[in-house]
């Protein structure tokens, strides 16, 4: 995939990588200590795709530190939301506030880069 100079595609991949973080982070909860083969495969594939989506955008000219911060922020917020939907997490008002702060930081980093 030729991504050099295509920052729009780079940012889309970073967001997609954040989405893949849901698979490996929640999958770890279901993998029962990496003893459930189906969930182990989901964790490994999601982790690989998430890391790939983080590494490729750096070829487009996006700073590694900015790409990593946005990737992690998106992954954290989405994982908390999906964990709550699945009943694995209870979201409090405080958590919502801090998730909004994370998203504000992610948007700020994107706008500054």
1 within a domain of the structure (yes/no): no
38 within a domain of the structure (yes/no): yes
23 within a domain of the structure (yes/no): yes
Task: Render 60-99 in DSSP notation, one character per residue.
Answer: GT--HHHHHHHHHHHHHHHHHHHHHHTTS----HHHHHHH
102 within a domain of the structure (yes/no): yes
101 within a domain of the structure (yes/no): yes
Domain count, the chain: 1
pLDDT value at position 99?
A: 95
3-state secondary structure of 55: helix
The percent of residues above 90 in pLDDT, for the chain, comes to 73
Q: Which domain holds residue 94?
A: 7-112
| Separation of alpha carbons 113 and 110, rounded Å | 5
Q: Is the pLDDT of residue 34 over 90?
A: no
30 within a domain of the structure (yes/no): yes
Average pLDDT over residues 84-100: 95
18 within a domain of the structure (yes/no): yes
- pTM for this structure? 0.86
2 within a domain of the structure (yes/no): no
Label residue 1 by pLDDT band (50, 70, 90).
low
């Amino acid at each position: 995939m030729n991504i050099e100079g295509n920052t729009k595609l780079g940012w889309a991949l970073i967001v997609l990588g954040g989405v893949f973080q849901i698979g490996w982070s929640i999958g770890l909860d279901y993998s029962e200590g990496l003893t459930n083969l189906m969930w182990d495969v989901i964790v490994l594939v999601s982790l690989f795709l998430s890391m790939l989506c983080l590494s490729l955008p750096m070829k487009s000219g996006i700073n590694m530190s900015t790409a990593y911060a946005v990737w992690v922020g998106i992954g954290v917020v989405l994982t908390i939301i999906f964990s709550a939907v699945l009943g694995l997490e209870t979201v409090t008002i405080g958590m919502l506030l801090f998730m909004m702060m994370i998203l504000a930081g992610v948007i700020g980093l994107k706008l500054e880069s």
